[in-house]
Amino acid sequence: MKKEIERIRDQNTLLTQKLNGSKPSQQQSSYHIEASNKNNLEQDTYHSRNSPGDNQSFKLSLKKASQSINKTMDYSTQPSSGVGLGLPNINNRTLNRDKSIASYSNRSQLSHLMEGNTVSIKNSNQVANSNILPSLYGVEDFNVQIVKLQHEINQWRTQNTDLEKKLKDSEHKRHEHLRKNLELQKKILDLENQIKQLQQRFKDLMLKKASGILREQFQELEIQHAATLKDLKIFKDKDEKFLQRIEAVKMALKQQNDKYREAMEQERQSMIKQIDNFKLFVAELRTEVKLFVLFYQTQEQKTIIQELRMQVSSLNQQQQYALFVLMCYQFLVT
């Protein structure tokens, strides 16, 4: 913001000095005019600037016709008080423009030359980016540009005043904010110191409280340790008695086990004897069964044979033979 205000202020000062005809500095300054054309056939820009050490510039824009069209400027002169054929007085000259033709007529009535003398100048401007400013440039356009520039200068001055006022207000506000900021920083430092003091006090109190709690806990642990030692002694006595009882039980169980083993051995021997006797009884029973079966089969066969004989006697020879074969087959199967 400060840089922008200073730049505007410098521009206003330079433009004011140029309009008043004063020099911007005590040093000798050289003014020159140059024309530039940025590939635009409708406009030339003329810069009026100071010496190369001064960065300020003044721009004047002029419209022109196409460079390929020949320009004709007609100067109609009247007899004047001067000697010879001179250029018309710029104060009494009127400018009529029609694209590529510029006509200038002189209305002066003071001349020793013949009336009706006409000077026609044709200028074929084929050079691009020409740096030549027309010598008979219209004063009216330049005055309009000056009025516009004065109007812009007034606007810039108004804006400059507003900006200076805003700058003063902003400076005042900035100082006020800085003062408040310093006060807040001071308060913050005071609060930080208070917080540190409170934290230190809190640590001290916590250490004291923790030491008291630890002392009480240590006393309780000592009491519990004494009670534990007493209980341990009681448990040791009980353990010794319990071990003695366990040994007595082991001896009793061992004796009972020995007695049980002897009884089991005796019972096993008696069972072996009984098994042997049972085996003998079974063998005898099997022999008797075999004999009974043989005897029963013999008696049954005899009965069957007699019945068959009686039945066979009533059959013919062929039937007897078939029955004999069937009986032989059944006998073999059984």
Q: What is the C-alpha separation between 72 and 28, in angstroms, rounded? A: 39
**What is the structure's pLDDT at 44?**
43
**What is the structure's pLDDT at 56?**
44
**What is the structure's pLDDT at 23?**
47
**What is the structure's pLDDT at 177?**
87
Q: Provide the residue type at 29 as one letter.
A: S
Q: Are 71 and 101 in contact (CB under 8 A)?
A: yes
CA 285, 286, 287, 291 torsion: positive or negative? Answer: positive
Q: Are 153 and 16 in contact (CB under 8 A)?
A: yes
Low-confidence ranges of the chain (pLDDT < 50): 22-138
Residues with Cβ within 8 Å of residue 136, at least 6 apart in sequence: 73, 87, 93, 102, 104
**What is the structure's pLDDT at 58?**
43
Question: Tens of pLDDT along 9-40?
Answer: 777 777 677 666 544 444 333 333 444 444 44
Q: What is the C-alpha separation between 145 and 22, in angstroms, rounded? A: 19
Q: What is the C-alpha separation between 82 and 88, in angstroms, rounded? A: 11
Neighbouring-strand partners of residue 61: 45
Token pair belonging to 229: 């030692």
Token pair belonging to 96: 């009529």
**What is the structure's pLDDT at 329?**
64
Q: What is the C-alpha separation between 139 and 141, in angstroms, rounded? A: 6
Backbone φ/ψ region at 194: left (φ over 0), alpha (ψ -120 to 50), beta: alpha
**What is the structure's pLDDT at 289?**
72
**What is the structure's pLDDT at 29?**
37
**What is the structure's pLDDT at 57?**
45
pTM greater than 0.85 (yes/no): no
